[in-house]
Amino acid sequence: MGNLPFKIDLSGKVAVVTGGSGVLCSGFVDALAECGAAVAVLGRSLQEAEAKAREVVERGGRAIGVGADVLDKAALKAAHEQILEQLGPCDILINGAGGNHPRATTTEEYWTPDLPENERGETISFFDLDPDGLRFVLDLNFLGTLLPCQEFARDMPGRPGAAIVNISSMNAYTPLTKIPAYSGAKAAVSNFTQWLAVYFSKAGIRVNAIAPGFFVTAQNEKLLKNEDGTLTARSAKILGSTPMGRFGEAHELVGTMLYLVSEQASGFVNGVVIPVDGAFSAYSGV
């Protein structure tokens, strides 16, 4: 990475980053390693996790790639055992795994009940949403945050600076059209962050979250950009509601993450969800 907004000392710490090979969380991996942490890049694709870990090692950091589905308790347990053996107990957990699914997404923003069936075409309404698609999104984002906490937080009591950072979303504040399951799941992540912060407060484990605004990632790029690289109509609406008038860049999340995992910087910060959104959540539209 080589261009941290500021540097904290994480020497001797072990960090686990779920979804660590993704566009946003790979930057977290780089930053944690540059600050001296040994990083376990945990992902469903072992190949991608190992590739990201190799990048860190080639730059002089310490990292390993670990394959595990965040919804598979047995796989998480096996991953934990591998991390304990190769790196040691977990001090910092970043829950970055998440995402949406086409079968949990409507194609329309508003329901038009009077529209004749022969004019609906391939429209997917609220009534067409698939239970399996909805369940996938709810599980991936909420259980995919809760289950890694169950596994890795066991290491944390008595370890100075123990911290968990979850990834929520702007959708948790105000749901976007078309994506009810993702919005609901991220609202659950925010609420769970507060619950877990209270639950772990006597054990010396701080739990906070970051709520990113709109960043271009591999998952949403086709929704935000046309094939020729121009912005879609949905992108134009997003930017029109973002006072800073642009999408965020992945590196702009790093400072907030480092702040939240630093005991020196945020030792009394617990149970908060910090928006990083270009003032999207502050804007009323007028």
In a domain, 286, yes or no: no
Is 182 annotated as catalytic?
yes
Instruction: Kindly state whether residue 19 falls inside one of the protein's structural domains.
Output: yes
Total domain count, the chain = 1
What pLDDT, on a 0 to 100 scale, did the predictor assign at position 2? 59
Q: Is residue 2 part of a domain?
A: no
**By percentage, how much of the chain surpasses pLDDT 90?**
86
Spell out the residues 6+ positions from residue 1 whose beta carbon is closer than 8 angstroms to its own. Answer: 27, 30, 31, 34, 251, 254
The widest CA-to-CA distance across the chain, in whole angstroms, is: 64
4 is a domain residue: no
Cα angle value 37/94/276 (rounded, 5°): 110
Name every residue whose Cβ is closer than 8 Å to that of residue 254 and which is 6 or more positions away in sequence.
Answer: 1, 4, 5, 27, 28, 31
* 182, 199, 259, 283: the active-site residue: 182
Evaluate if residue 101 carries a pLDDT over 90.
yes
Q: What is the CATH number of the domain that holds 154?
A: 3.40.50.720
Question: Is the pTM higher than 0.75?
Answer: yes
Beta strands in 146-258 (DSSP E): 163-167, 206-212
- Domain assignment present for residue 233? The answer is no
Encode pLDDT of 241-275 as tens digits. 999 999 999 999 999 999 999 999 999 999 999 99
233 by DSSP, 3-state: which? Answer: helix
**Domain with 209 in it:** 14-213+248-274
User: At how many degrees (to 10) do helices 144-152 and 73-86 cross?
Assistant: 40
Please tell me the predicted confidence (pLDDT) of residue 221: 73
Tell me whether residue 280 is in a domain: no
pLDDT tens, residue by residue, 184-201: 999 999 999 999 999 999
